[in-house]
Each structure stands twice: as C-alpha cells, then as structure tokens.
Amino acid sequence: MTNDTNIAVIAPLVDRLRRSDTLSDQEVAALATTISGTRDHANRTVIVRPHEPLDRSLLLLDGFIARQTELSNGRRQILAIHVPGDFLDLHGLLLKSLDHEVMALSQARLAEAPHDGLRTVTTEQPHLARLLWFSTMVDAAIHREWIASLGRTAAGRIAHLFCELQTRLEVVGRADEREYALPLTQVDLADATALTPVHVNRTLRHLRENGIVDFRSGQVVIGDLNALRRIAGFNPDYLYLRQLPR
C-alpha cells in the first residue's frame, strides 16, 4: 500500500484531530506511515480479547465497535462505543494488554498501526505523541460523562447516548442534526445503559410517542434535538471540539 493510500485511509481521524488542534501535512504523512494495512471484521466478531498481548493499535475506519466486560452477575456491560475516526487501543501501546474485550457491533473496517512504528513516530515527533495522548484524554472525558449516567434515569441515559453519538458522528460526516445510522439492537442499548432490554423498549416507545426521537431498524431519527438534549442533560463541551470557523 502506498503512503498516499494511507493518507486517504486516515482521513476521518485527521478530520477529528483537526477539530481540536493544528496538524501539519507533514505530520499527517508521518501518521500515515504508521499504518501497515487494513482488515475487515464481521458483525459480532471479537477484535481484541482481554489480556491478549498487543503489538498494534487500531484505527476504526468504518462501522461501530464496543468495549465490553462481563459483570459478576453475568451481564454484559458496554464501556464505550467507538465510531469511525477513533484510534482504538492506544492503551495497548502502553498498557500491553487490555482488561476488557473489544467487539464489532457491525461490519467494521479497521486500519492497523504496529506499535513499533507508533513508538518511533511519537519519539521523533513529540507533537504527534501529544496529539495521540490528547485523543486518549478525550476518551477518558467520554468515560467520565458515562459515569455521570449513574445519576441519570433510563430516558436520560438513552437520550445522552443518542446525543453523544450524534455529535461524534457529525464530526466525521456520518450524522446530521436530524438522523444517523446506528446499527445496534435494543439489547446492545440495554448493555450500554445497564437497563433491561424490556425497559429500554418501553423507554424508546415513550421517547417515540413524545416525538423526541425514533430509534428503529438501526436508524436514529431525531424529532426534537433540543428536547433530547434537555432530557439527557447533554453539553458537548466534554468532547473538546473547538468551534469550527463558519
């Protein structure tokens, strides 16, 4: 694969990073050299197993991916949902292995970035290291916002997830203010919000009947974004997206 191809491949990542910081063409090129290739995963495939030794990080190009863990009561808890443009498992670069599992929530295309190359490029270009570090800090900020869901009701948790994904997907051109594709089942939603599938179903019905949002067959259709954000208590500051100049 030529490096030009790689530059095309990392476009969604670059889009996202440039919302938060400057990034020279030379740095983009350096980042592109770390990509060794791409691979595809079928829906519901396990991508990284817990405690498995890691020698590469992954860049999500297309599709949806979840980090998940099994709770002691046997339930699955989704800890994070990744969207295209997310650099996955930068953790692995330093933590060597993960304490949780990574699974495809849809057909997914990934680029691989071997750790050797990442170490070289981040050692030689501290600004790039800081950019990737920044990216993991935004992940942590998203985690904190999910912790805040402990204090949200069922409707608030679901609404917040819809708001967050709307904003994150919009940055990479996969959502507008009215709708976006989200190929999750109600069970996935239940595992992300720690609710039962039954109650997720009832809450979705309630949101639908009130014209707030309609989630059906993998599509989120937003009826009233302001109301949705009010129910969620959503404030996009934590995603650290600098306002784009108009």
**31 or 189: whose CB is closer to DNA?**
189
Residues that bind DNA (CB under 7 A): 153-155, 185-187, 194-199, 201-205, 216-217
**113 or 154: whose CB is closer to DNA?**
154
CB 57, min distance to its own copies, A: 12
Return the C-alpha torsion angle 47, 52, 56, 59, nearest 10.
Answer: 30
Could you tell me which residues come within 8 angstroms of residue 104 by beta carbon, excluding any fewer than 6 positions away? 41, 42, 43, 44, 45, 47, 63, 64, 65
**35 or 47: whose CB is closer to DNA?**
47
Binding partner of residue 238 among its own copies, DNA, none, CB cut-off 5 to 8 Å per kind: its own copies
Give the H/E segment covering residue 201: helix 197-209
**143 or 178: whose CB is closer to its own copies?**
143
Among the listed residues 160, 165, 172, 143, the one whose alpha carbon sits nearest the alpha carbon of residue 219: 165
CB 163, min distance to its own copies, A: 12
- Give one word for 194, left, alpha or beta, with left for phi > 0 and alpha for psi -120 to 50: left
CB 8, min distance to its own copies, A: 27
3-state DSSP assignment of residue 11: helix
Binding partner of residue 3 among DNA, its own copies, none, CB cut-off 5 to 8 Å per kind: none
What is the CB neighbour count within 10 angstroms for residue 144? Answer: 9
3-state DSSP assignment of residue 180: strand
Binding partner of residue 67 among DNA, its own copies, none, CB cut-off 5 to 8 Å per kind: its own copies
As a residue count, the chain comes to 246
CB 58, min distance to its own copies, A: 16
CB 75, min distance to its own copies, A: 6
**209 or 237: whose CB is closer to DNA?**
209
